[in-house]
Amino acid sequence: MTRRIDPQLLDEQLELTLRDMCHICGVHAEFLVELVSEGIIEARGVGPGRRRASSPVQRWRFDGVAVVRVQRAVRLQQDLGVNLAGVALALDLLDELEALRAGGRS
Amino acid sequence: MEYRDYYAVLGVDRKASADDIKKAYRRLARKFHPDVNAEPDAEDRFKEVGEAYEVLSDPEKRAAYDALGANWKDHQNFQPPPDWSQQFEFGGGGFTGHDGGFSDFFETLFGQHEFRGGGRSGGGRRAGGFKGADEHARVGITLEEAYQRASVEIDVRGPDGKTRRLRVKIPAGISDGQRVRLKGQGGPGVGSGQPGDLFVEFRLVPHPQFRPDGRDIHYELPVAPWEAALGAELTVPTLGGSVKLKVPANAQAGSKLRLKGRGLPGQPPGDQIVTLKVLLPKADTAEKKALYRQMADTMAFDPRAGS
């Protein structure tokens, strides 16, 4: 059986709320807050937030690249038993390695 | 089915302590983790190592496995003893939460499907159900397919081992390594839970002429010395078909010309970057040699002046 499905692009243009991220990545908001404070993923704050009507966390927006990073972080943490600082280090080094490999090809 | 030598997989002695087994597992898991290791067989090796650890880290399973004897070779043809299931009883909850995809050998000896739902998806608990497991797939596509936003067929192997075939339209904005999400195309939900998602990573297979860099496409255009010197209008292949390119007079070897918007589609689309490669005609006749000599006299050109 084959049917055609249109996929959602997980790129830099995507704007996801904290709630979207929890749903897509299957993780709790607390975990995402930890990832942000560890610098593993980046949250863009939206709007100046004139009043305290909404908390800064509710204004956070994430792109599609963050989804991929969260998934990798979850896998590394579960499979290798590393803590978040270790996950952050591993992901940074892997990014660097990937950039070096891409540069080496040209 | 084939026998699996779990001690050989982890590279430890049959008498290895629980601590040594854990150390060996941790080391190999780090080495073959598919997020860390880009080799194509890394995922299979990682699963092998996980399966071996699943058995050898659990005293009950290890004792049962050891009772099969030490004379089996890895991948040797194997049938379990007829009274196997009566001999051992495995306490529940003994699984480490490792992803599915264990060998037939493992499933026959230790399979307990009721403990194996969910996999990694974790979280997402809704009233009366769990979200299904997310699945991941990687698919190689050509630059032409990415440009034309063709449909590709992807075979997805679910946690239950069954393969489904999906037809996926390649969206605009694909570059090498770009991932997409297919909502609800992962493993089925448990109870009233929603199905998981399918995440697909697109890899661009190498192209004989074009080299992608993000959405930009690099192309090397061979030109004659007089085309570079005098300027020319040349036909250049692009992913969308041939286009005319104006080479300005006094262009140099290595000069880069940009064909705006002729790269991979996206928001914004990439460009095709054409690098000029000046090829010299051979001086293989007396007449051609004379022409080169005449150039040398007339041009009085020192390419190393100022270097």
| Residue B38 in this model has a pLDDT that exceeds 90 | no
pLDDT, mean of residues A42-55? 66
Question: Quick check: B272 and B257 in contact, CB under 8 A?
Answer: no
Query: Residues B229-240: pLDDT tens digits?
Result: 999 999 999 999
| Number of C-beta neighbours around residue A2 at 10 A | 12
Of residues B191 and A32, more confidence is placed in A32
pLDDT tens digits, residue range B40-64?
Answer: 889 889 999 999 999 999 998 899 8
Task: Give pLDDT, residue B121.
Answer: 40
What is the predicted pLDDT for the residue at B118? 37
Cβ distance of B35 and A75 shorter than 8 Å: yes
User: Whole-angstrom Cα distance, residue A17 to residue B9?
Assistant: 43
What was the pLDDT predicted at B200? 93
Specify the pLDDT at position B249.
97
> What pLDDT, on the 0 to 100 scale, is given for residue A42?
92
State whether B30 and A80 contact (CB < 8 Å).
Answer: yes
Residue B173 has pLDDT above 50, yes or no: yes
pLDDT tier, A30 (very low <50, low <70, confident <90, very high otherwise): very high
A23 and B124 within 8 Å at the Cβ level: the answer is yes
In this prediction, residue B11 has a pLDDT band, given cuts at 50, 70 and 90, of very high
Least confident of B7-21, B44-58, B74-88: B74-88
> Is residue B33's pLDDT more than 50?
yes
The letter for the amino acid at B21 is I
d(CA B66, CA B61): 8
Dihedral sign (CA B173, B174, B178, B180): positive
B244-274 burial string, b = 16+ CB within 10 Å, else e?
A: ebebeeebeeebebebeebbbbbeebbbbbb
Of A9, A13, A23, the CB nearest to B180: A9
Pairing of the two strands B198-204 and B125-126 = unpaired
For residue range B205-218, list pLDDT tens digits in order: 999 999 999 999 99
Q: For residue B278, which phi and psi values (nearest 5 degrees)?
A: -80, 125
What pLDDT score does B159 carry? 63
A 11-70 → B contacts, CB under 8 A? 11, 13, 22-24, 26-28, 64, 67-68
DSSP codes of every residue in A12-33: TT--B-HHHHHHHHT--HHHHH
Q: What is the mean pLDDT of residues B269-290?
A: 97
> Is a pLDDT exceeding 90 seen at residue B289?
yes
Residue A15 C-alpha, separation from nearest chain B C-alpha, in angstroms = 14
Q: Is A7 in the B-facing interface, judged by CB distances under 8 Å?
A: yes
Q: Please name the helix (run of DSSP H) or strand (run of DSSP E) that holds residue B22, with its range, or none.
A: helix B18-32
Cα gap B49→B56, rounded to integer Å = 10
pLDDT value of residue B128: 61
**Inter-chain residue contact A10 with B120, CB threshold 8 Å:** no
pLDDT at site B115: 38
Distance (Å) from the alpha carbon of B8 to chain A's nearest alpha carbon? 20
Residue B114: DSSP 8-state? G
Would you call B122 and A24 a contact, using CB atoms and an 8 Å cutoff?
A: no
Residue B76: which of B12, B173, B8, B174 has the closest Cα?
A: B8
Largest CA distance in chain A: 53
Higher pLDDT pick, B78 / B91 = B78
B22 touches chain A (CB under 8 A): no
The predicted structure's pLDDT at residue B1: 83
Backbone angles phi and psi of A96, in degrees to 5: -65, -40
Question: For B134-164, what is each residue's pLDDT tens digit?
Answer: 888 889 999 999 999 999 988 887 666 678 8
Return the pLDDT at A55. Answer: 74
If one compares B173 and B109, the residue with the highest pLDDT of the two is B173
Which amino acid, B5? D
Adjacent-strand bridge partners of B140: B203
Q: pLDDT value at position B37?
A: 87
Q: Chain-wide mean pLDDT for chain A?
A: 85
Q: Which residues of A touch B164 (CB under 8 A)?
A: 1
Overall average pLDDT of the A46-60 stretch: 67
Average pLDDT over residues B62-91: 74
For A105, nearest residue in chain B (alpha carbons): B211
Residues 6+ apart with CB under 8 A from A86: A76
User: B87 falls in which pLDDT band (50, 70, 90)?
Assistant: low
User: pLDDT tens digits, residue range B156-165?
Assistant: 876 666 788 8
Q: Which residues pair with B204 in a beta bridge?
A: B141
| The token pair that represents B96 in the structure block | 């480490």
Q: Quick check: helix, strand or coil at residue B300?
A: coil
* Mean per-residue pLDDT over chain B, rounded: 86
Cβ–Cβ gap B35/A94 under 8 Å? yes
Write down the pLDDT at residue B143: 96
When pLDDT is cut at 50, 70 and 90, the band that residue A29 belongs to is very high
